[in-house]
A and B are shown apart, each in its own frame.
Chain A
Amino acid sequence: MSALVSWPVARATARERGLAPLNLVIASVLVLLGMVKSSADAWGAEAFSSMAAAWFFLLTLLLGARLLSEEIESGHAQLVLLRPITRAQYAGGRFLGAAFVLCAAGTAAWASSLVAALLRGGANEVPGRILVLPLALLPALGWLATLLAVGAVTSGWTNAGILVAARVGWFLLRLGLPVALPRLGLGPWVEAIDHYFGPQDALVIARQAQYGERIELSPALWDLLWLFAAWLAAVRLFNLRELARRRA
């Protein structure tokens, strides 16, 4: 397994990304939102739904933006790679370091909503709330791996820009296409593709468990597949990249 990740790189990344002031601010906003919004019918997803979901995605974006390019452009990556580690371990270390910060922030926000629930006497909500945490973190990790993969071939903040453009673009296309071309009957097609466009919201599983419905695990497993496939693509692309610095 250590062929996947260099732990010193992961530690350094977690420290760098976790102590960045902006990331700390967003994490604190999430913790506050988790506490303020806490309600019985949110079954633990306070820090990951509606407005908080946008903040959580913003944190994912900030953690994943420039994850590789920053180090390549400063020449730091080239220095670290003089040591006997593979590029795969380096990319894995950068990814897991950022992933650790993301999970820590998500867990803190989740824990604050749990504490708020316990304070208002919602001890019976605890089992459902425990299920929510991994299901909320999984798609976020999928997006982070996507940022890593795009960032393996782009420079600067481009990876975050591409991801935002892709999500906004798809959102507009999904809403606009069926309306713009009603005769083609694109609606069902667009909806079908939407189920495979990036990591899917896995919180539906928590809702299914909560209300005793039949549990459909495939969204969570799709996210897991997306996560590893994006990681694999990231390593592959990073291996192909020319890291020697040329003067423009």
Chain B
Amino acid sequence: MKQRAMPRWLYILTAAAAVAWLLARLLGRQA
């Protein structure tokens, strides 16, 4: 196991949060 491996889940969670936030912004602007 590489000690400095980056956890894939952290990227996935960050990307998911970014998408959710962007969607909320876009939908909020439309309404």
- Measured CB to CB, the residues of A under 8 A from B are 1, 3-4, 81, 84, 86-89, 92, 214, 216-218, 221-222, 224-225, 227-229, 231-232, 235-236, 239
Contacts and interface: CB of A to CB of B under 8 A. Distances in A.
Contacts, number: 66
A221 B24 contact: yes
Given A84-B1, A221-B20, 10 more contacts: A3-B8, A86-B2, A88-B6, A89-B7, A214-B31, A217-B28, A224-B17, A228-B14, A229-B18, A232-B10
Nearest to B12: A228
Contacts of A222: 21
Interface of B: 1-11, 13-14, 17-18, 20-21, 24-25, 28, 31
- Where chain B touches its partner, the secondary structure class is helix
A84 B31 CA distance: 51
Majority secondary structure of chain A interface residues (helix, strand, loop or mixed): helix
A224 B5 contact: no
Contact of A86 (B1, B18, B20): B1
Contacts of A224: 17, 20-21
Contacts of B9: 1, 3-4
